[in-house]
Amino acid sequence: MRRPKRFGGRSWIGLGLVLAILGPQAGAWAKEAKLIPREILFGNPEKAFAQISPDGTRLAFLAPKDGVLNLWVMTIGKEDAKVVTQDKRRGISYYFWAEDNRHLVYMQDSDGDENWHLFSVDLTAGVIRDLTPYVGIRANVIATDPNFPKEMLVALNLRDRRLADVYRLNLESGQLDLDTENPGDVSYWVADAALQVRGSWSSSADGGAELRVRPSPKDPWKTLVTFGPEDNFSFVVAFTPDGKGIYLGDSRKANATQLVELDIATGKARVLAADPIYDINNTIIHPRTHLLQAVSFLKEREAWKVLDPKIQSDLEAIRRISPGDFSLLNRDGADQQWVVYFTQDDRPTPYYLYNRKTRKSKYLFTTRPKLESYALAKMKPVSLKARDGFVLHGYLTLPVGAPAKKLPMVLNVHGGPWARDSWGYHPEAQWLANRGYACLQINFRGSTGYGKKFLNAGDREWGGKMHTDLVDAVAWAVKSGIADPKRIAIYGGSFGGYATLVGATVTPDLFACAVDAFGPSNLVTFLQTIPPYWETERKLFDKRVGNPETDAEFLKSRSPLFKVDQIKIPLLIAQGANDPRVVKAESDQMVEALQSKGKPVEYLVFPDEGHGFARPENRLKYYSAAEAFLGKYLGGRSEP
């Protein structure tokens, strides 16, 4: 299922001193809550991201090797796990089993430059191969299929850095053959059950989009659906199993995105699932039959609707395994064994192997078992009204055992901005709560998941109403007695970093300090330096943010760089030197402006990172600095 374009996301002392900082009210809580080491919260997981092989006999997973996440494989039922990759730098974060049962395929960039290469691990020969060995080229897997075990479709911007063409990759030989050329406006491609490229999503000059289809690769493209700018966050889910229809996330005739089956020949649409407020979120599609089996809506928590009665009893059995929200990660070729994991707010992520025949599950592992010896905080859904009546939803995480009364608070702003915060285990929320802070996460207008009216209300409101939503959330927390108005910080990465800089400049008296990670400081230069492979969606940026050629003065008025004089609070800024989304110059120019005005600022630059901090040693350095910074200005606990 398509995910909307986003430029960032979250997508990581002595008792006497604690009492002196937090005061007598915090004393009982400080004695009970153990300080969770940053290494346990933000270091590598012990194991993660398990997947079963197509033949159902082996399990792959990620685990550290010499401190770096690598791929491991074990035989199910045996203790014979062995590492099959030897990455020594950034670690592997995404992989999957090839349908031939012999190869594992993973993606890797270079120090965060997001020029992803596709690698294969031949488990029989023990050979690792770079399948896309081109400098400065970005690879993306379009589709695989069990009926074509030796092939996959891969998008590459080899011909033009701005455009992704589709290539057919032979896993055994490594040969890449051009399959479908991008005409110049296609953002993403869709393959059918026969592993043929038959759908494309293209951007329009007005910020809208077109869905094009073709009967076969030999036929010309025809426009099936036109979406206006207000409906551009509709998306293609998949072709129907017979290829005669297409499943869409469609908001054209509703506020919230509905799951629709569209007949290609007649254009008739049938609504399969809908909610008046919430967009569809995830889908379960059978990998072999291509039947759409279930769809979810992300409300306060994720809610599933079953479309295929054959899996109704399976999902009921899976729900009984754990109180968390489940996800189906993958399944074997016989569709008898499923790997599932559960999102929970107050414990690390557990993985299970579920057997459809017996309806029983086998516990595999949890990502961070050391966390289970600590008391983690609950994440409470909250809602409030913005000043113009918009209902804002979010989550509040409080220190374990602490009274919700005049606590120091961190407003943690999500990235994107076309994304949202959701319920579950959030390392930053747990970290902040454990250090004594209330952590407030608010889905301001422009966040996804709440329908197009809420999403489109964020258009051209960067630093405007999106910010006043955050201000209103702070006012709610203060009025409710939760937050101490003199001890509030604003904190975030990417768009959240931009929002942090806006908070420090536009509302300088609201916050005591601010922590910005790779946030844009000048919207003109930010939009002028977006990666070339985002070019097909530039018109959407023009609509939602502004056009740097025609709206330069407007964009400058919403840019923190030009309001440095208004800053009254200390800032901590962190940046990856290789960030392709928010280039290092965005942070450099902000820091230089602050220093020239004598404003207090701390600056961390990581030479081997991009948009986010992938290497655990860099994450730990960042969170160590942020923790000390927040402790200094808000009075929370710190690990030495």
Q: What residues act catalytically?
A: 494, 579, 611
- Per DSSP, the three-state class of 442 is strand
Rounded to whole angstroms, how far apart are CA atoms 529 and 521?
A: 13
Distances (CA, A) of 558 to 279, 499, 539, 552, 561: 29, 10, 19, 10, 9
Q: What is the largest CA-CA distance in the chain?
A: 76
Long-range contacts of 301-308 (CB under 8 A, 24+ apart): 301/325, 301/381, 301/423, 302/343, 302/422, 302/423, 305/273, 307/272, 307/273
Nearest-angstrom CA–CA distance, 214 and 243: 10
Q: Which residues contact 274 (CB under 8 A, 6 or more apart)?
A: 254, 256, 258, 259
Task: Return the beta strands (E) in 29-102 as ranges.
Answer: 48-52, 58-65, 68-75, 82-83, 95-97
Q: Measure the N-to-C terminal CA separation of the chain; round to a whole number of Å.
A: 43
Q: How far is CA 509 from CA 149, 396, 437, 481, in A?
A: 60, 23, 19, 19
Residue corresponding to tokens 């081109």: 134
Q: Which amino acid is at 559?
A: S
**CA–CA separation, 110 vs 411, rounded Å?**
32
Q: What phi and psi, each to the nearest 5 degrees, are found at residue 22? A: -85, -20
Q: Residues 429, 431, 432, CA angle at the centre, nearest 5°? A: 65
Count the Cβ atoms, other than its own, within 10 Å of residue 21. Answer: 18
Handedness of CA 328, 332, 338, 343 (dihedral sign): negative
Distances (CA, A) of 99 to 39, 103, 145, 253: 36, 8, 7, 38
What CA–CA distance (Å, rounded) separates 467 from 478? 17
What type of residue sits at position 262?
Answer: L
